[in-house]
Chains A and B, each alone.
Chain A
């Protein structure tokens, strides 16, 4: 049992489960405080999400929605964890996501590009924005968190300005993709029929492939070896003659490309439209941080953790609004997401407890 608990992967998993349960518990307590009568039902609905529906067809359809929204979250958490492995905290993922959204929507709506060029354009936009952070970090030693946060805002207002040229006249939202450029919609590969939901697209298999590629790059290649060495010990990497500046810039560019791809995979399903008057950076990039940590900073772990977080977030809409105001769902899912960030802390505590009990056991021998 203890041997099992010493395994890094198992530790990460147990810590993740612990955080999830703690998050649900605190969410439940919040609900109890506001109105005890609907609390149990509401928290159950959050956990059940699409299972709240009784008809199987409806369930599958709602599952499709959650899936569609999970993919960008997975990519954002991959973006976070990729740079994190190299010792960089890319909080600019949120802005790179915005850049991706802006690029794909603008290319689709203004220039009528097809889905693939739009997608690649989104990746390039994200990579360029990440590259700016990388350049500043590598050559001017500007902390990537500071430049990342500032670039987030720059990206947001640039996107608002640019996309205003392709918005509906009567609303702050961009034009409908399926009406203006249906060719920019992601192909569904027939999955739309199975799910009864045309938001389930090529994004799903593509994201899975990207997650596996990220995992392979990090664990099996020379590039991953260099990047992780830089992340673990910058001085040793320099000593070994690795090109540090190039690696920092490249890491943030790859990280940005992942975030940009995430945005394109959401907006090119037609699920959402860009609101050109929004004054806060979309939370997707930030939620990616929680998802990355909840997934134990492992690319495959990130797939599951992101899906779970999206699942809970979507479940929030089934909170009984007779008892609670509609914002409560956001509060609950935020609490859970917040707790998810504690995975590393829990893991560390677990390690300490194990080490202590080992010491005691050693003493008895």
Chain B
């Protein structure tokens, strides 16, 4: 049965179900307990489950993330919460050198069934150390799975999907989505990891995106439709693995591509998607591919500057029009 829910509460509700269902699941991170989570996702959970399952950790990203990995290889199913993606860099050693590598390095003896959640993205005037979208960067690393829930449904579904996966799964929640309302059907069978979703069917241009940019792309598609441009809008959902099949099927239908990514351009996931289309569907293209990404600056504090740095619907419309003008 479908209901309207808030993104933050959908995650909380999925966490509650997971902790209730499986005694191996626990949540650890900075301020997840008494404070209720820096974005209030875990509000009330400490009272409900106690300090053994909801563990407040000191500001030691590397140690508590590594502790999550250690607990995972010793039979538990930890969920590590890191406040924001910028802080996760303090745990990068553990994520890259241990979580992503242990299974291979040990010749298949120690897989790491770990979930790491963190907030990502800009737009709240938090400056250059709280605002970036580094999920594409993490997608570079073999051994990790990278999820980017855009919808309330995915915010809910991806917790259980990630916990069922025997590998380290990183979930990037765009902080501006926490207050968003959307449809949630708890009975619905979750769309598996690695499958993209086409949110709008169109025949003229493929707009490929993920996370919060999905909504900007859908807004742009609405504006474009008034001009007779019919956009296919794809939510990748997972940046690793990427759903090549859905991407290529869309390219074969529209023959034109625009990628929207809140990450930077250089060496990015948008560049990777372009490369794959080039490798797998080059002759399907009727025009050069284009992308709208964040401007290559550390995000500034001033609102007008920050907004100018982030992909917006108007930029997406303009970029799509340009792709359509190509013969």
Binding partners A and B: no
List residues of A whose CB falls within 8 A of some B CB: none
List residues of B whose CB falls within 8 A of some A CB: none
